[in-house]
Amino acid sequence: MGMTMTQKILAAHAGLPEVKPGELIEAKLDIVLGNDITTPVAINEFKKAGFDQVFDKDRVAIVLDHFVPNKDIKAAQQSKQCREFACSHCVSHFYDVGKMGIEHALLPEQGVVTAGDCIIGADSHTCTYGALGAFSTGVGSTDMAAGMATGKAWFKVPSAIRFELKGQLPGNCSGKDVILTIIGMIGVDGALYKSMEFTGEGVASLSMDDRLCICNMAIEAGAKNGIFPVDEKTKAYLNGRSEREPVFYEADPDAEYEKTIEIDLSKIVPTVSCPHLPENTHPAAELSHIKIDQVVIGSCTNGRMEDMETAYRIMKGNKVAEGVRCIIIPATQQIMKECVERGYVTAFIEAGAVVSTPTCGPCLGGYMGILAEGERCVATTNRNFVGRMGHVKSEVYLASPATAAQSALTGYITAPKEEF
C-alpha cells in the first residue's frame, strides 16, 4: 500500500519502512516549540520529571509572542521563567522583545523549520508548517516537556483527506477565503485527527503566504495536520533560508485517502465566518448589513507581508470609518521593518489605523483590542468562539485581509472589489 506525504515523513522519523493509519509510533523530532503561555507549564513538567537538559539546544524554539511586551505581572513572570530556562540550557532559538514575532510566522521566515521536518509545538496552530512540506502538529505542554528532554514524541498515524485544487483564485480572494470555504463545507470536526493533504494543479497558483494561512487553520477543521506538496515555489522560499538541508517527500501514486474533495479555486468568493464557529461561513456580500466596531488585521494566520500589502492597497489614501477601531499587527519584526520601509505604516496611520509591535494579543482576548459587550469585530484571526476576543456577548467575524480592510473603510462587513 502506498503512503501519503504525512505517512512518509512519520515513517522516516520513526525509522520504519512504512506506517499505516491508526498505528502508534515513536518519532524523532526536528523542532520542539513553545510560547510564553505554554512553555512555563512545560518547564514545570520538565523539572517535575527530573530532566536536567534539553536533547538539543538547536532543536528547541521558545517564542515570546502572546503577551509580549508583557501586559501584566503574570505575563512578566511567565516571560522571565522562559528567559531563565532558555539561558540555562543555551537554547539558540529564543525570541524575546526586539527579536520576537508571532511564532508561526517567525519560524518559517527565519528558516527554523523546513521541508521534511517532524515538528511539535505547544500551540494548536503549529500545523502551519505543513505549507513547507513538513509534518507539524500542536501538542500539550506535557508533550512539549517530554519532547524537549528526549527529542521524541508518540503519534497515532492519521488517515488523510485529499483536497484536489484546480483553477486559480479571483483577484479579491486569498488563502483565507479558501480555508474558510473548506471549513464551511466539512465543518469544525470534518477532518478530525486526519491529515488534510492539498494537491492538484491549483496548488501552483497559491503563494507561500496563502499556503501558510491554509495550513494554519487545518486545526479549525479538527485536523491533525495540513500539508502541501513541495514545488518550485516552496523550494524558492526555502532556498537560502533553511538552517538545515530540507528533505522532499511525495505521496505515492497509490496512496490511500479516506476521500477526495475537489475545490475549484475560481469559484471561491470573499468569505466570512460568522459567530461563533469557524464553520458558520457566508459570502461577505451577503453580510453588508452587519455594522462593526473593530477590525484586526494580523495574527499567525494573516499577519504576513502579502497581508500587509493587501491592507495597504485598499486603505492607502482612504479613511477608516468613523466609530471603527482598526488595529494592524505585522507578524514579525522583519515584516514590521519592511512595512516601515515601504511606507505602509505611514499610510495606515494616515488612514486612521493603529499599528502594533508583533503580538498575538487580541486574537485570544489577551490585549491590544479586547471587545466590550455587544461589540463586533472583523478579524483576520483563526477563531471566533464565544468570548474569544473579549466579552462573551461580543462577536468575532473571521475574514481575509482584503475583506477586513474594506470593512474598516465602510464600517460594515464589505466584500472587496475584484481588483484593488
CA 268, CA 278: separation in Å to the nearest integer?
A: 17
Asked if residue 410 has pLDDT above 80, the reply is yes
Identity of the amino acid at 235: K
If 0-12 CB within 10 Å is exposed, 13-18 middle and 19+ buried, where does residue 245 land?
exposed
- Reading the block at residue 301, the C-alpha cell is 494566520
**What CATH number did the domain enclosing 381 receive?**
3.30.499.10
Total domains present in the chain? 2
| DSSP per-residue letters across 37-70 | TTHHHHHHHHHHTT--S-S-TTSEEEE--SSTTT
Flag whether 95 is in a domain.
Answer: yes
- Reading the block at residue 253, the C-alpha cell is 501514486
Asked if residue 381 has pLDDT above 80, the reply is yes
Handedness of CA 340, 344, 345, 350 (dihedral sign): positive
Please state, as a whole number, how many other Cβ atoms lie within 10 Å of the Cβ of residue 266.
13
Which residues lie closer than 8 Å to 250 by C-beta, 6 or more apart? 5, 8, 229, 230
The whole-number average pLDDT for the span 139-159 is 97
Flag whether 372 is in a domain.
Answer: yes
Encode pLDDT of 236-266 as tens digits.
999 999 999 999 999 999 999 999 999 999 9
Place of cell 469585530: 377
124 and 200 assigned to the same domain: yes
Give the domain range for residue 360.
272-410
68 and 212 assigned to the same domain: yes
pTM of the model: 0.95
241 and 320 assigned to the same domain: no
Flag whether 183 is in a domain.
Answer: yes
CA 126, CA 224: separation in Å to the nearest integer?
A: 10
Encode pLDDT of 87-138 as tens digits.
999 999 999 999 989 999 999 999 999 999 999 999 999 999 999 999 999 9
